[in-house]
Structure 1
Amino acid sequence: MPVRNTACPVCGAEALVNVPDADTKIRKVEPPDMNSYPDTKAACKECGDTFYAWYS
């Protein structure tokens, strides 16, 4: 599964997000929210917080 680099929305450190294929781009990343339906969930290696990502 390919990965994309993005910035953690909590601490700003570089974070990796798994994407379904090499052409997929990350549209937005946000901290966890119970009312949202993200495409995937990821965690920051630096701060350890979980965040959600949406594809474009």
Structure 2
Amino acid sequence: MSQTPNDPAGTTHQFQNFAGQAPQQPAKAPGMNQGLVFGIAAVVVVIAIAAVAFVLM
């Protein structure tokens, strides 16, 4: 079985180039995801409407 040569200097150099690159996407500001907040609000509204409908029956 033949083995392919492993060049640690080459992989280290490639990793250093990768690590030195600037991020491709801008970093997100910390905080909650807006979709998550709107989803939770929608669930609360639906539950409130169902509770009011149940009480009025």
TM-score range, shorter chain: under 0.3
Give TM-score scaled by structure 1 length. 0.16
Q: Which has the higher contact order (CA 8 A, sep 6+)?
A: 1
Give the structure with the larger helix fraction.
2
Larger radius of gyration: 2
